[in-house]
Amino acid sequence: MQADLTMGNLASALTLQSQEAALVAELQAGSEEAFAWLIAHFHQPIYSLLARTVYDRADAADLTQEVFVKVFKGVHSFHGESSLRTWIYRIALREASNQRRWWMRHKFQEVAIDEEPAESEQGTRMRLSERLVDPAESPFDAVVHAENRARVEAALKQVPEPFRTTLILRDLEGFVYEEVAEIQGVNIGTVKSRLVRGRACLKALLMTPRPERSPEAFSEFAMPLGEEAQ
């Protein structure tokens, strides 16, 4: 029985690999139908990922489009070293990282200069709550009760990087450790270390009576990356 299950899993994996290879071949040949299928299949997951990792929900929508432009332009350089899904997520996270850096250099300073401090603080909290509500159904939505989802998402936003992204990839998107390591360009020990710290930080944020607390209040979780498990 165990041998039959193993052979069945292997056959299933080979079938999926064959299907993905056929899809990649179609994409590289410029098939509009294949690209339309790719967008239909990955658009919502990529948007949900970006909405949780950048500062503005409208930016997440724009970035989602940019990700697929880069996928379309770069598919000829995809040679199957990883799965197509892993490759697309890696592009998305690179775009999110670039967007966060731009925000910190430009848009964040603009808000601080142009608005009165009280208005800026209030406006930031309002936008945060608005952009953290994800209407899409996902395993995360099924676990978290509807009225608590916004609070959990808000707390997740306060988890420091790179622990937040690791949480999203592993606990929300369902990637296995090896895939998370490949997407983030680190080893599995580092992924596990980040996951432990991220979960602990998220738990502390949810248990604090002041969910608006700054991530600096949880500085014990922001250890130097060089100290992570190798």
Outline where the chain has alpha helix (H): 2-28, 32-53, 57-74, 84-102, 108-114, 117-131, 139-143, 146-158, 163-167, 177-184, 188-207
- CA–CA gap between residue 194 and residue 86 (Å, rounded): 19
Q: What is the pLDDT of residue 74?
A: 92
- Asked if 202 contacts 156 with a C-beta cutoff of 8 angstroms, the reply is yes
Q: Is residue 13 part of a domain?
A: no
Characterize 132-167 residue by residue with b for buried, 16 or more Cβ atoms within 10 angstroms of its Cβ, and e for exposed: bebeeeeebeeeeeeeebbebbbbbbbbbebbbbbb
Residues 183 and 220 in one domain: yes
CATH of the domain at 43: 1.10.1740.10
Dist CA 68 CA 56 (whole Å): 19
Q: Give the tens place of pLDDT for each residue, 20-65.
A: 889 999 999 988 899 999 999 999 999 999 988 887 777 888 899 9
One domain for residues 145 and 61? no
Q: How far apart are CA 96 and CA 173, in angstroms?
A: 16
Spatial distance between the Cα atoms of 39 and 46, rounded to a whole number of angstroms: 10
The number of distinct structural domains making up the chain is: 2
**Domain of residue 167, residue span:** 139-230
Q: Decide: 92 and 46 in contact? Cβ < 8 Å.
A: yes
At 207, which amino acid appears? M
Helices 84-102 + 2-28 axis angle, to 10: 60
**Residues 147, 118: one domain?**
no
> Which of 100, 131, 162 lies at the terminal end of a domain, its last residue?
131
Q: Is residue 14 a part of any domain in this protein?
A: no
Same domain for 204 and 143, yes or no, is: yes
DSSP 3-state assignment of 170?
A: helix
User: Tell me, what DSSP letter sits at residue 212?
Assistant: T
> Is the CB of residue 166 less than 8 Å from the CB of residue 191?
yes
- Is the pLDDT at 179 greater than 70? The verdict is yes
Average pLDDT, the chain: 75
Backbone angles phi, psi at 211, to 5 degrees: -65, -15
Which of 131, 153, 188 represents a domain boundary (last residue)?
131
pLDDT tens-digit readout, 97-137: 888 887 777 665 554 433 444 444 444 444 444 444 444 55
Q: What is the CATH number of the domain that holds 178?
A: 1.10.10.10
Query: Is the pLDDT score of 197 beyond 80?
Result: yes
**Residue 3 in tokens:** 């041998």
Distance CA 87, CA 83 (A): 6
pLDDT tens across 66-76, in order? 999 999 999 99
Q: What is the pLDDT of residue 118?
A: 42
Q: Is the torsion defined by CA of 177, 182, 185, 187 positive or negative?
A: positive
Report DSSP state, residue 18: H
